[in-house]
Amino acid sequence: MLNYIARRIGIGLLMLVALSVLVFVLLRLAPGDAIDAYINPAAPLSMDELAALRARLGLDQPLPVQYFGWLRAAISGDFGFSIQRAGVPVLPLVLERIGPTVLLMGTGMLLAIVLGIAAGIVSAVRRNSATDVALSVASSIGISSPAFLTALLGLYFFSVQLRWAPSGGMLTPGAPFSVSDLLSHLILPAFLLSIGHAALIMRYMRSSLLEVLNQDYVRTARAKGVREFWVIIKHATRNALLPVVTLIGSTIGIAVGGAIFLESVFNWPGMGLLLVNAVNTRDYPVIMCATLIVGACVIAVNLLTDITYAAVDPRIQVA
């Protein structure tokens, strides 16, 4: 077990390094460098002055040298300064966005898991009934709707037409902080974020439960007189959950994508909004830092999922 964990952590660290190389190289391929971003167009510099500046900042060094210089600084927490907001260090700018994003994604995923599993159970138990067909059609539509469209529709109906929820932001500006204010801003985007995932989870839950319901041990449970409700909950659902848990673990990355759209529609001050703004203004230091931190989180979550499985199901370590 320890061996397996050590190996997985090693692979995770390697992936992180590879990710940093990838992001570094990709952004160096982009047209323009830090100097182009910082110089004042009103006071043009001569080619010699530009070359001197580049030499002072080390931009004339070969790429690997630049990479290791950047890596050394990054490990000590120095990701440079934002280009768009000159002089503001990148790391705190990115770190303060983690909380809101985790809050939005966490609530959304939780809702998705509850809704998806419940709908999947109902659908499988009432197989081929009108309820099942309706839920299956709804889940197909949910899977085919992009997050930003769900977000726009939700915003239009629930905030603009019905006025049930505020139309954006995380807190009412100027008002003192209160949990109810936060919740009223959180619930709509979190719910909208959960729809696509709930649809996917429901589909897996349904097919997995249908398979389990055909197993001998379910028949045995029924035969010995266990009530149908408990057969479903205790005997079938518990066993049907395993592939669903795998699915949830492996879709965290996609959830991050959905969160980006929700954040930009609802003006939620999270990582996604920061990243989209940084991409629009070509603020490369922010893009790099945000990408690395999101990537590191996803790698860490995948690692935890893998280790959890190995703990639950010892067969996995062999494979």
**Contacts to another protein by CB under 8 A:** 14-15, 18-19, 22-23, 26-27, 29-30, 140-141, 143-149, 152-153, 155-156, 160, 167, 253-254, 256-258, 260-261, 264-265, 275-276, 279-280, 282, 284, 287, 291, 294-295, 298-299, 302
Beta carbon of residue 147, minimum distance to another protein (angstroms, whole number): 8
Which residue lies nearer to another protein by CB, 279 or 304?
A: 279
| 3-state class percentages of the chain: helix first, strand second, coil last, to nearest 5 | 75, 0, 25
- Report residue 98 CA to chain centroid gap: 11
Rounded distance, CA 282 to CA 30, Å?
9
Distances (CA, A) of 38 to 33, 81, 82, 212, 319: 9, 11, 10, 62, 52
- Report residue 207 CA to chain centroid gap: 25
Q: What is the dihedral of CA 272, 275, 277, 278, to 10 degrees?
A: 170
Beta carbon of residue 20, minimum distance to another protein (angstroms, whole number): 11
Which residue lies nearer to another protein by CB, 22 or 311?
A: 22
Which residue lies nearer to another protein by CB, 167 or 239?
A: 167
Distances (CA, A) of 173 to 156, 182, 217, 283: 21, 11, 57, 27
Rounded distance, CA 246 to CA 25, Å?
32
Beta carbon of residue 29, minimum distance to another protein (angstroms, whole number): 6
Beta carbon of residue 307, minimum distance to another protein (angstroms, whole number): 16
Which residue lies nearer to another protein by CB, 20 or 237?
A: 20
Beta carbon of residue 179, minimum distance to another protein (angstroms, whole number): 27
Note whether 135 and 119 are within 8 A (CB).
yes
Beta carbon of residue 282, minimum distance to another protein (angstroms, whole number): 6
Beta carbon of residue 126, minimum distance to another protein (angstroms, whole number): 18
177 by Cβ neighbours in 10 Å (0-12 / 13-18 / 19+) ranks as exposed
| Sign of the dihedral through C-alpha 135, 258, 298, 318 | positive
Which residue lies nearer to another protein by CB, 34 or 276?
A: 276
Which residue lies nearer to another protein by CB, 134 or 279?
A: 279
Neighbours of 55 (CB within 10 A): 11
Whole-angstrom distance between the N-terminal and C-terminal Cα of the chain?
Answer: 13
Beta carbon of residue 198, minimum distance to another protein (angstroms, whole number): 16
Which residue lies nearer to another protein by CB, 26 or 312?
A: 26
Which residue lies nearer to another protein by CB, 258 or 270?
A: 258
Helix/strand/coil for 81: strand
Task: Considering only the C-alpha atoms of the chain, give the largest distance between any 2 of them, rounded to a whole number of Å.
Answer: 89
